[in-house]
Amino acid sequence: MASETCLVLHRKSANRPEIKQAVKHVRGQGIKLRVRIPWNKRDKPRVVREALASGARRIIAGGGDGTINAVANALIGKGKKKPEATLGVLPLGTANDFAHGCGLPVEDLDKCLEIACTAEAQKIDVGRANSRFFINVTSGGFGAEITATTPIEMKERLGGAAYTLQGLIKVFNLKPYEGQLLVPGEEPLEGSMLVMAVGNNRLAGGGFEVAPKARLDDGLLDLAVVRHAKGAALTGLAKELETPDDPNNQILYYRQLREFTLVSSRDVHFNLDGEPTREKKLTFSVLPKHLGVAF
């Protein structure tokens, strides 16, 4: 029998007792919840498509930010029309940045799943990076590079600390990326970059507020670049994040834009909602209030 609500659950989380309890909790409230477990990452889009074809009106992503990204991309498709189904979130990852940024009670899985099944959908913006979509943050530079090459076992031991960009800058001897920022109607801006983030939401790196002014429904993407500035101590980065648009900032370059392109002289590691890629050029744009999310 078809169910209007489907939980797409990360395979490694399927046998966790607290997740079984959360499913039991919402079913006990009379919610007809179907649980599907994709075999691997590539199988997730197929599972979402099958759930939609069976009549699902609400798809819940059960996993970390990468799982949420995969389910969201499956709902968005090519981005030509707004998805009819609502996205719900059951946060089961290491960082859970999107869930934290939405104010979900991440420590209470019963409540999170209940919200995912029953809350009214709120329309949020969707960011586009070339042909891929993201709903939280795309980060680039050395933080994304080191995160992409960090073994899963180490991430599990370190927790959110494995993603802390400021900590990574201090630990590793970093050489900056040279590149350009291209904004329609403006002169190209050239410079040196250590790390960057494009935020549709505020949080990345295990709770690090990389885009403090970002809002999910403002029709803008927040670009934050940690510049390589001679004589500027990286310890001042946290202070500059408190006033990101201060023109006197030496380390942080911050803009709110509808579209722009980042070009690098060499391949840059990027992380799109937890999914790694390598590019020399990424063109960013936003689809305003394109996806309904229950939170």
**Active-site residue numbers?**
275
Hey, how many other C-beta atoms are within 10 angstroms of the C-beta on 79?
17
Asked if residue 11 lies in contact with residue 40, where contact means CB atoms within 8 angstroms, the answer is yes
Asked if residue 281 lies in contact with residue 140, where contact means CB atoms within 8 angstroms, the answer is no
Using DSSP, state whether 250 is helix, strand or coil.
coil
Give the end-to-end CA distance of the chain in Å, rounded to a whole number: 27
CA 88 vs CA 174, 271, 293: distances in Å = 38, 22, 6
Q: Can you tell me the distance from the alpha carbon of 274 to that of 136, in angstroms, rounded to the nearest whole number?
A: 9
Q: Is the dihedral of CA 67, 72, 77, 83 positive or negative?
A: positive
Using DSSP, state whether 180 is helix, strand or coil.
strand
